Structure 1
């Protein structure tokens, strides 16, 4: 066995490097996935022992490559664990304990204008207690409350209602508390009344002010949705894009165009590189004495770095900038610019400074698409397809277009598991529409925006802005038409972390190796695909506070519908419930469901699963209910859900999901057919951002434990009809 592995590694010296970055990422992932400090230390100790042991053993033996591979992979895993643990300890900000009404006094750290929502977001550094530490809080205010002088560096005083950063509403949903922990945010809230400007910002203007001024200029020159998207391309400010346009771009597979990432940075860098090298080539004294690729690469790198800083230095932009700089370096040195080693170096740089980005969809999607492009174009069939041959211009163009379409399909297939894991949705037509949208954005829209901004210095940009608007009108038309097609988006139940790990492991194996051995990656991908296709959506969804309940039901003629106990005031609540249920469309109040009986205090709903009827009893009122009446109602129910603590007299047959239980488990996803109950707490571990209860509940409620595989007992008798 050892000889086989040694022989395998001996023939792949150039392919082993990217796996070191994979091991680094696995160390970061282990810190997130393992439950707590003891497990983190055990993992680190195991990596250190295996790494040092491999280096110490068989120093003069015949398995040198195997020994070095084991040692380097283990030590990189240990390094990844240490990096993310250290950053968490350095920047992590504990959330406030409970909602509170406070006066906030301090400097503005960041300002974001979200014109489409009529909202301004301010991040303020303040002391929430007189002798307490300085904390960052994020507050929202409307344009009616705004003062244009509230910019970065200004001192402000305001009253706000603050909330702790919210944990996931349901298992698998967005974890804002984790994001806030690494952003150093201790609370979020809404401003009450008008803020008071205590001291204006110092002169000179910040990058944030420059970014907003550029976005305002673009929107002043180009109105409507095209102006909002053009401002996003120029400055990274997406706040003015209408929600309908955002949704259409997302469902059409074009949302990546709205986020400043590889496409935009590459367009800027490539344009500057080509422009500089062509202009300098026209000057013979320079062309004969200076190595033009080096000068052009330096100019392109400076342009890419400047564009990255101007647009906010988001992780996808930084990743793209690092990759572009590496490509420029390869071009200047005459090396192959499309290399997996280049992508690995860029990934290592991002993870070294932003290790928390590993489990975010932005990092995963951006690097997955880059790796897919490089691996596909370096594969032998693609190289043969693009090999030079004696053919006409039209034939050669068609061949390149076919490869572009095939590349789009590969990218869509690679990104599909990531989209399903994070967003519970998979697009079908993105590959086709991107064949037109990407060249349109790269070679038409962005160069026209740059030209218009330059001509605006002399007041001549009007005609060019008109052309920009027409190109963006075409882009939006394609997005809306594609998103409106039947089957444009398929909603699927969320997958578990283990299933997602099978997908990622198979995709990495398929991409990072060469030859027939890479085909072994198809096995875990096929296994994970079968799990997803055979998985069931949960029957009952319960939010962590018990106020939001979703029940999946089959409706004659309408297919699956989602019944909700309360219709939330925000689209976020509705969208989260629908995504967790693997459904699209809208929700239906439980009151309107056949078989539901509701009064101001409770709703009773009967549903049938696995040839057995189940009765749900859900609290929705605030008044006290006589304990004997409550006890009788609970005794006829299988599951009772409440946003308050219920007395011991309430004893349902299966599960009592009241405040006492939900404080320990967070949101629930219940599968009545299998008896499986998934909880938010089982995915959190003992990390600082999750509000684990420290005081035991006094009523002795038996809670579902925060771990997978909890099976509720079957009903002792059918509930009364």
Structure 2
């Protein structure tokens, strides 16, 4: 008789807790539930925090837009840019999907969607800008006969030259390109202006990449300006065809600059021309250095101070004069009419002075202030700054990585954040007190503003210029009121009185005021320790510090104090940043060694100060340089120098080429074998095999300028920060 087979689960208990691995499953399930609960609690806390913070969302959208632009510069490849856009899109879609089933409003999900969108827009804006305006540089240095039209002319009287930007056609390739040529002043005629056709011969070079890691990247600037080459004139310039229709703004700028210089004397005339027309070409190198080292160089660049002074003067003058016309005063809102006239004055001044990025930013911000005044709203707000930033970045997204944009907006954000703080409003609030006490409070606030601006600009200045000013805040307390309330009104009055031939007294007074400004700059710059050269601040460090400062400025309440944490971390990291032991320029001809003397040791004494200044700045060294052949610790022949360096508990032997003469290969191979590092400005044979690094012409052509850290046994090159951006690919192809 057949027996019935038992069911598969026969004999096994059906209670869940009785399964063999049920305890582990229960623990895993409870762990997942706890993690899910923690995540949900964190999300609820973040949502509640954003809901009660009460901060202005608008400025953070501008920060997100700028971050998308910055990500394009930081990421290396096209695939990375596409992945960034894809991640932004997925983040926005995920947040929308999570938001769809919720009945309440989620501040966190709204923030995720908004930031993802503006990040993607920033990336798309700079990518499109680079694709449309970027110009492929010429392949190699060469001499060309050029026939083209003048696009721009910049007179640089202090250097006795004129820069002509030309649209030409390459006779070899047949493709049109834009080049910039330096022409001696005596070979340029007044008829060579915008629109004229000229013929000349020039020695052209591709735009130069950074000479060292962290140095100025002219190749990137030239890429976005559409420049394929720069160079200097050979021979004479022939005018083939005069301009059919002169450029009115350029002609007006040159005429105004010449008129100002004709009515004033000395260095003050050059400064006055810069303030009136934006023409800085006549300012001497010594005066530029004095203004820079005293922290007053921002007064030479037409920006917020100058545009605000012009617009404020036009607004006040217009509202006073219009009030004298009763018929108009009864029928038109005078603040609105005065705001319109002030805006027109600001726009005209912006166009006349060249419409540079700081000027456009200032003009947009000032116009927004006028609109707020006309509507009876708060004129100074961070939202106004955010709108101005988005306008500038939408037009010129590449300006984000330049010091002009960063310093301009950092200063304005610091000013607005300070004066919108509750304690600052209480401090400046009107009260019953004497004129002296009221003036003292305003002076104290002006000094506090200067200190805050210096603090806000410090990381940007250290990152770009590798120097820190000490007395800038003190100098600005005197210089800013002098320029704003004395010099600028006197220049405007002098130009106005010149219409009837009575401007001489105003010109004399303006001369005196600018002589005082220059005297203040020279005195401040000459003080001991006025400028301190520092090693370059790393990109990650400056981003951490700036992020913390933005948090402090844009947040409200006690939550803003959290921004002190990244600022403190960034400062600690910067103070512990090592100085490169060896710096090698991109051509291999200039080598600097630090840490062996109170002066920077160099392989060659350059005839031009460009390489030397870059070596000093990036090494954080001051004073004169010392040649290797004059250093007791180095052994130099006509062809090579050998130097031993003690770093990180070991001795490093460095072999550096001094000449390009042929050397017997066997002797060279033996010398390389005894060296840890070999540096040469030429290609070395394969038989030259040092123990650690061979930085010869082949290496430097591929990697560019190099910084070596011996204790950490690491190197940093220009190529590591360039990726597949167009301006660097052109250089690598040569």
Shift of 1:591: 2.0
Distance 1:131-1:206 versus aligned 2 partners, 3 A rule: farther
- In the alignment, is the contact (CA less than 8 A) between 1:152 and 1:206 conserved in 2? no
State how far apart, in whole Å, the 2-side matches of 1:168 and 1:126 are: 26
In the alignment, structure 1 residue 405 sits paired with structure 2 residue 423: no
What's the secondary structure of 1:550's corresponding residue? strand
Q: Find the counterpart in structure 1 of residue 578 from structure 2.
A: 536
Counterpart check, 1:436 vs 2:474: no
Change (3 A) 1:616 1:319: same
1:652 equivalent to 2:690? Answer: yes
Matched position secondary structure for 1:406: helix
Match of 1:139 in 2: 181
For the residues of structure 1 that align with 2:479 and 2:731, how far apart are their CA atoms?
A: 50
CA distance in 1, matches of 2:526, 2:685: 50
Partner of 1:298: 340
Q: 1:28 to 1:689 in 2, by over 3 A?
A: same
Determine the structure 2 residue equivalent to 1:719.
Answer: none
Distance in 2 between residues matched to 1:668 and 1:528, nearest whole Å: 24
Task: Tell me what 2:21 maps to.
Answer: none
Find the counterpart in structure 2 of residue 84 from structure 1: 126
Any idea what the Cα deviations from partners look like across 1:612-670, whole Å, max 9, x if unmatched? 33222111212111101211221222211111110011111221100111122111011
Q: How far apart are the structure 1 equivalents of 2:517 and 2:342?
A: 27
Task: Verify: 1:680 aligned to 2:680, yes or no.
Answer: no
User: Is 2:260 aligned against 1:222?
Assistant: no
Q: 3-state DSSP class of the match of 2:656?
A: strand
1:329 is matched with which residue: 368, 371, 374? 371
Higher helix share: 2
1:516 aligns with 2:590: no
What's the offset of the Cα at 1:458?
2.1
CA distance in 1, matches of 2:354, 2:320: 30
More moved, 258-267 vs 120-129: 120-129
1:309 is aligned, of 335, 351, 369, to: 351
Q: Report which stretch shifted further, 371-380 or 9-18.
A: 9-18
Correspondence list, 1:96-175, <5 A = 96-130=138-172, 132-175=174-217
8 Å CA contact 1:248–1:479 kept in 2: the answer is yes
Q: Tell me, in whole angstroms, the C-alpha distance in 1 between the residues paired with 2:316 and 2:207.
A: 47
Q: Is the 2:201–2:234 Cα contact (8 Å) retained in structure 1?
A: yes
Report the CA distance between 1:493 and its aligned residue: 0.7
Match in the other structure for 1:709: none
The alignment covers a number of residue pairs equal to 692
Matched, 1:613 2:651: yes
Shift of the alpha carbon at 1:56?
2.7
Tell me what 1:340 maps to.
382
SS of aligned partner of 2:210 = coil
Q: 1:130 to 1:314 in 2, by over 3 A?
A: same
Do the aligned residues in 2 keep the contact of 1:155 with 1:200 (CA within 8 Å)? yes
User: Is the CA contact 2:54–2:556 (under 8 Å) kept in the aligned structure 1?
Assistant: no
1:662 aligns with 2:700: yes
Please, which of 563, 571, 594 is the counterpart of residue 609 of structure 2?
571
Q: CA deviation digits over 1:169-190, x for unaligned, max 9? A: 1111100000000000000011
What's the Cα RMSD here?
1.5
CA distance in 2, matches of 1:691, 1:84: 17
Partner of 1:482: 524
Taking the aligned partners of 1:588 and 1:434, their CA distance within structure 2 comes to: 36
Distance in 2 between residues matched to 1:241 and 1:493, nearest whole Å: 28
Identify if the C-alpha distance between structure 1 residues 116 and 694 changes in structure 2 by more than 3 Å, giving closer, same or farther. closer
Post-superposition offset of 1:23: 0.7
Instruction: Determine whether 1:50 maps to 2:91.
Output: yes
Q: Which has the larger radius of gyration?
A: 2
CA-to-aligned-CA distance 1:455-504 (integer Å, 9 cap, x gap): 12222212211111110010011101111111111111112111111011
Quote the offset at 1:12 in angstroms.
4.2
- Who is 1:713 aligned against? none
- 1:11: Cα distance to partner? 2.8
Distance 1:693 1:223, change over 3 A: closer
Checking the alignment, whether the CA contact within 8 Å between 2:209 and 2:731 is kept in structure 1 is: no
Report if aligned partners of 2:294, 2:524 keep a CA contact under 8 Å in 1: yes
2:66 match: 25
Aligned to 1:246: 288
Residue 6 of structure 1 pairs with residue 33 of structure 2:
no
Q: For structure 2, which runs of at least 5 residues remain unmatched after alignment?
A: 1-41
Distance 1:399 1:245 in 2: 33
Q: Write the distance in 1 (CA, Å) between the matches of 2:174 and 2:599.
A: 49
Separation of aligned partners in 1, 2:638 and 2:157: 38
Of 592, 597, 600, which aligns to 1:562?
Answer: 600
Q: Work out the CA distance in 2 between the residues paired with 1:207 and 1:570.
A: 35
Task: Tell me the distance in 2 between the aligned counterparts of 1:568 and 1:159.
Answer: 28
Task: Find 1:590's aligned residue among 628, 638, 659.
Answer: 628
- After TM superposition, the runs of 4+ consecutive aligned structure 1 residues lying more than 4 A away are 692-696
1:525 aligns with 2:561: no
Over 3 Å counting, the alpha-carbon distance change for 1:451 and 1:522 in structure 2 is same
Write the distance in 1 (CA, Å) between the matches of 2:258 and 2:631: 48
When residues 97 and 178 of structure 1 are mapped into structure 2, their CA distance, relative to the original with a 3 A threshold, is same
2: distance between equivalents of 1:658 and 1:389? Answer: 71
Matched, 1:35 2:73: no
Gaps of 5+ in 1: 697-721
**Correspondence 1:15 to 2:56:** yes
